[in-house]
Amino acid sequence: MVDAVTHVFHRDPRLKYPVAVRGEGAYLIDRDGKRYLDASGGAAVSCLGHSDAAVVQAIQRQLEKLPFAHTSFFTNEPMEELADALIARAPKSFDKVYFVSGGSEAIEAALKLARQYFVEKGEPHRAHVIGRRQSYHGNTLGALAVGGNAWRRKQFEPLLVRTTHVSPCYAYRGKNPGESDPAYAERLARELEAQFQDKSVIAFVAETVAGATIGAVPPVPGYFKRVRELCDRYGVLLILDEVMCGMGRCGTLWTFEQEGIVPDLVAIAKGLGAGYQPIGALMVSKEIADTIQRGSGFFQHGHTYIGHAAACAGALAVQKRLHDDGILNGVQPLGARLEKKLRQAFAEHPHVGDIRGRGLFWGVELVEDRATKKPFDPKLRMHARLKRKALEAGLMCYPMGGAIDGVQGDHVLLAPPFILDESQLDELVDKLGTAISTLEEQTI
């Protein structure tokens, strides 16, 4: 654990954190030598684990040549090469990549670029963004405003720009009894279309597979096709947040591929750099980029560390590992085996209400009563207690509370590295089961 006195303003100053000193593949090791299987990739970040030699060496080589050159003066080779690599594997409608340092910055860039696009098109009256309840897009004020995480937003509400939030596509909690997937998708589409009657709408922002707030919830079939149709009909941009679920996490490089649609802007981060350097990016359609170019020619935005040479070199090496070395090809079969093991262990568990996800992105929702879907009393803070029990068992997972409405609902998010072997899948499920059982013995 950290010393009794620390001058670091930690996320939760009340806690004592283990000191991580080393990473070995899928494991983190603390100062006392305890090993933790990283079943959440930190926060769905470490897709290649913690000691990938090729990525480390690529960063080292770049640091020796050029660590940093400010992008108001220079471009740099790794940034250009990484942009080329991403565009080469993106749908043809994408033409440009705007690099940032993380997911929140990518969303901020998307919101500002969307607004500037309409200004330069001669539609300055468009100034309104629609998001979804129980979404999460980052902790900067713009990202927090479009996000629908009620708990994270609450104390900062006076600082947030006005946004509107519609229902998430959350089948376990949102579908009516007996309602089919197509009927549910259509009901959500009608709700969104009602908001589009306001002619000032810039964009609809959504996570392709919802992440931290409600726990790896995939959309029902056809949902995003209806969303895309509506955005096209009303001239609204579709911004997809794949910061957590993208870059191979759900089994394909772009998760929207699985929905049969193409958005106008896509925010990526986390798995883009796999945790080896801070980096994020915004994928920009040719239409949007050309509109700016024909207009002012200048995106009125920027940060000091965008296009950081060493970060781009690391992310480029991650892309090579995923594609050239075939690691991405293993995500879907590995995810299928993880799903099977999770369902074998927990599908009939009296306090597991739902198991959902794609690829190597899974959520397990905890309930007090499986039959009625009744959540645990929020005062029990089951998610926080589960996190502690899992750490005691040597497992890193990502539990969260407030899945239903920002207050009620507990789930655990699983987003392990793409390099796990069969024994580590078993270890993951066994240790999660131990943590849940220990929690039950002390609570229920």
Our CA angle for 115, 118, 123, nearest 5°, is 125
Tokens standing for 391? 């750490």
- Which of these, 383, 403, 407, 249, lies nearest to 328 by C-alpha position? 249
Measure the CA–CA gap between 135 and 144, rounded to whole angstroms.
10
6-59 residue pLDDT tens: 899 988 888 889 999 999 999 999 999 999 999 999 999 999 999 999 999 999
CATH class of 56-323: alpha beta
Helices and strands in the chain: count of H runs, count of E runs: 14, 15
CB 352 within 8 A of CB 364: yes
- pTM as predicted: 0.97
Measure the CA–CA gap between 98 and 240, rounded to whole angstroms.
15
Q: Which pLDDT score is estimated for 110?
A: 98
CB 68 within 8 A of CB 310: yes
**Residue 4 pLDDT grade (very low, low, confident, very high; cuts 50, 70, 90):** low
Is the predicted pLDDT of residue 315 greater than 90, yes or no?
Answer: yes
Q: Where in the chain is the domain with CATH 3.40.640.10?
A: 56-323
Percent of residues, the chain, with pLDDT higher than 90:
94
Separation in Å, CA 138 to CA 92, 149, 272: 28, 10, 16
Mean pLDDT calculated for residue range 98-127: 97
What is the DSSP-derived secondary structure letter of residue 380? G
Q: Where in the chain is the domain with CATH 3.90.1150.10?
A: 20-51+329-443
Identity (one letter) of the amino acid at 170? Y
Q: Which pLDDT score is estimated for 1?
A: 53
CB 126 within 8 A of CB 201: yes
361-381 residue pLDDT tens: 999 999 999 999 999 999 999
CB 272 within 8 A of CB 90: no
**Residues 6 or more apart from 333 whose CB is under 8 A from it?**
none
CB 116 within 8 A of CB 300: yes
Identity (one letter) of the amino acid at 178? G
Q: Which pLDDT score is estimated for 16?
A: 87
Number of neighbours of residue 356 by Cβ within 10 angstroms: 22
Q: What is the CATH number of domain 20-51+329-443?
A: 3.90.1150.10
- Which of these, 366, 434, 350, lies nearest to 399 by C-alpha position? 366
